[in-house]
Chains A and B, each alone.
Chain A
Amino acid sequence: GAVVSQHPSWVICKSGTSVKIECRSLDFQATTMFWYRQFPKQSLMLMATSNEGSKATYEQGVEKDKFLINHASLTLSTLTVTSAHPEDSSFYICSARDGQAMFWGLKETQYFGPGTRLLVL
């Protein structure tokens, strides 16, 4: 099946540091990628939808100046947590949308990356 990678898998940083997380689709082109955040014992919360070549669409309550998203190519989206603080510590997961033309129409599947654990001290 399709593979989505994330890098790094773990980040520990000091408060005030900016952290960049990469999400790559390894064997398909993804015009749309999604960024989620998950706090312990809570569900995945969609932060933003990243579209290749255009601005990301942020969910209500997510600060776009705090969480910078860039989707510069069909296989790479990046999330930068600017001036990270301890409350930003979380599990960040990206996913990529793969559309395959079938005889009956378009089959769309969402593949998840392995996630990045961010700990801000």
Chain B
Amino acid sequence: RKEVEQDPGPFNVPEGATVAFNCTYSNSASQSFFWYRQDCRKEPKLLMSVYSSGNEDGRFTAQLNRASQYISLLIRDSKLSDSATYLCVVRNTGGFKTIFGAGTRLFVKA
């Protein structure tokens, strides 16, 4: 079983749609959680950290459920520029080791 699992997609949605991505992780000792965005042929860029209380940044909302070892990302009012691969990232205790999920591809169409 992979340490971090995501639905690879692709998700094809129209502009303005709301889309949700899910991610599960296997190590219950994992300490920090993030969503990264990666555009084609580019390095990943931090989108947002994920906190237990849930957090929102504009159109993006992230949730963490430690009991179920589950992370989600909700994108409201999708824009064409949101088209990218979204990576679920987990950082484990000790050593600052970061584990990336395989990513979920999103295509937003006009």
Residue pair A34, B98 in contact (C-beta under 8 Å) = yes
CB contact between B99 and one of A46, A49, A93, A115 (< 8 Å): that residue: A46
Contact with A along B15-49 (1 / 0, CB 8 A): 00000000000000000000000000111110000
Contact with B along A5-49 (1 / 0, CB 8 A): 000000000000000000000000000101010000011111001
Q: How far is it, in angstroms, between the C-alpha of A49 and the C-alpha of B29 when the chains are bound?
A: 20
Task: State which of B52-60, B61-69, B100-108 sits at the interface with chain A.
Answer: B100-108
Residue pair B97, A46 in contact (C-beta under 8 Å) = yes
Q: A42-B102, A43-B100, A43-B101 are in contact. Are A49 and B95 (CB under 8 A)?
A: yes
Q: How far is it, in angstroms, between the C-alpha of A42 and the C-alpha of B41 when the chains are bound?
A: 12
Q: How many A-B residue pairs have CB under 8 A?
A: 37
Residue of A nearest to B102 (CB): A43
- Chain A: residues with Cβ within 8 Å of the partner, total of 20
Q: Give chain B's interface residue range (CB within 8 Å of chain A).
A: 10 to 19
Q: Which of A34, A43, A46 has the most chain B CB atoms inside 10 A of its CB? A: A43
Q: How far is it, in angstroms, between the C-alpha of A91 and the C-alpha of B40 when the chains are bound?
A: 11
Residue of A nearest to B4 (CB): A43
Q: Which residues of A contact B101 (CB under 8 A)?
A: 43
CB contact between B43 and one of A42, A97, A112 (< 8 Å): that residue: A112
CB contact between A43 and one of B42, B43, B97, B103 (< 8 Å): that residue: B103
Residue pair B96, A108 in contact (C-beta under 8 Å) = yes
Q: Which residues of A contact B71 (CB under 8 A)?
A: none
Residue of B nearest to A115 (CB): B43
Residues in chain A within 8 A of chain B (CB atoms) = 32, 34, 36, 42-46, 49, 91, 93, 95, 97, 108, 110, 112-115, 117
